[in-house]
Amino acid sequence: MSHDDFAFEPVMGLPERPPEHEIILWQGRPDTFALARDAFKITWITAYFVVIVGWRASVGAADAGLAGAVAFGLPYVGLWLAAMAVIFALAAVVARTTVYTVTSARVAMRIGAALTVTLNLPFRQIARADLTTRGNGTGTIALETLGETKFSYLILWPHCRPGHVRVTKPALRAIPEAAKVAAILAEAAEARLSQPVIERQSAPAGDLVAAE
For the chain, the structural domain boundaries read 25-192
Can you tell me the mean pLDDT for 162-172? Answer: 86
Count how many residues are written for the chain.
212
CA dist 196 and 51 (Å) reads 60
Please work out, in degrees rounded to the nearest 5, the angle formed at the alpha carbon of residue 26 by the alpha carbons of 23 and 27. 115
Nearest Cα to Cα of residue 41 among 136, 170, 157, 153? 157
What contacts 130, CB < 8 A, 6 or more positions away? 141, 142, 144, 161
Could you give the percent of the chain with pLDDT greater than 90?
58
Can you tell me the mean pLDDT for 17-36? Answer: 93
E strand or H helix that includes residue 35? helix 32-38
E strand or H helix that includes residue 94? helix 42-96
CA dist 156 → 140, 159, 211 (Å): 14, 5, 57
CA dist 173 and 33 (Å) reads 12
pTM of the model: 0.82
Confidence of residue 15 (pLDDT cuts 50, 70, 90): confident
